Each structure stands twice: as C-alpha cells, then as structure tokens.
Amino acid sequence: MRLSPLLASLAAATLFMGSAQAQPVPAAAPVTTPVANADGVIQLRSGNDFDVTLARLKADVAAKGIRFFDAIDQAGLGDGAGLKIRRSTLVLFGNPPLGVQFLEANPYAGLDWPVRMLVLEDAQGAVWLAWTDFTHIAHRYRITNRDAQFKMASEVAASIAAAAAAR
C-alpha cells in the first residue's frame, strides 16, 4: 500500500508518543497529538461538526472496503442511565486478515481488536477523533514480530481519521 506524502507524514505523526506536544508535520497535514491524560491515545481535531465527522468516518471505512462492526452512541447510553455526557460515539471496524495476525501473535490482543475510533465533542464544542496508537498496542501485548502489520494499521487509521476530519 502506497500513501501520498501527506498521508505518510500523518501516519508518521501517529507513531509519536512521550509528550503532549504535537510533532511538526507539513502545514497542509492535520496534526495528531497524544492525549495528555490517556496513555497511548492519539487525537485529531476535526474540521467538521460531530454528525459530519461521524458520517465521513463511516463512509471512509466503507470506501476502503474495511469491515464496519458497530457504532456505539455513548452519550445515548448515558442518557438512558440518567447521566449526561458530551456527544461521544465509539466506532468499531477492522480488516480481519490484518487484525487476526495480532491475535495470532498474542490472543489477548483481542481486547483491542477490532479497531476502535472515538468521535467526541469537547466542552468548547470542538470535535475530535481519537484512537489507540498501534505502537502502544504492540508494546502492550509484547508483539515484536508484526512490525509491517502495525505500520499498515497505523497508516490506515491515520488515513481514516484524516478523511473524517478534513473540511
């Protein structure tokens, strides 16, 4: 799979961990940053409102031929329990021929597969996409023999997030 220089820069940025500072990427590329209060989580600010971001995420997953599993409206679940949270939807998707390779390497990696990408709205109304850094997942499950597969997963997740966030 070949990525454009823009997506390659974005994919490289998703591998950064260790501080709350964004890594420099070309001005045309959206900036992904680690989340300061969550280990191994990357976020990307969307240029769209919540509904458009969510719809674009689902559309890009479908366009790439990736299997869509579910979208869980977490705010709706909160409402049903009498608890109010900001808008938040967890989207589950994946490519079984790729993801199952992580399960072969360590069956407990099934706790993080299929891929989960969160669309959420912050207190200021900004919409964010967040997902777990695949390097973090590799370290978490001590998977050392699937570097190319983790790289591909990182590139695809970054591409999906970028498509959903783009204006």
Give the separation between CA 88 and CA 19, rounded to whole angstroms. 25
Q: Determine contact, residues 90/71, Cβ cutoff 8 Å.
A: yes
Tens digit of pLDDT per residue, the chain (167 long)? 333 333 333 333 333 322 233 333 333 344 566 666 788 999 999 999 999 999 999 999 999 999 999 999 999 999 999 999 999 999 999 999 999 999 999 999 999 999 999 999 999 999 999 999 999 999 999 999 999 999 999 999 999 999 999 99
Domains, the chain, in order of start with CATH, read: 5-15+42-165 (3.30.310.70)
For residue 115, what are the CA distances in angstroms to 33, 92, 98?
Answer: 18, 6, 11
In terms of pTM, does the model score above 0.75? yes
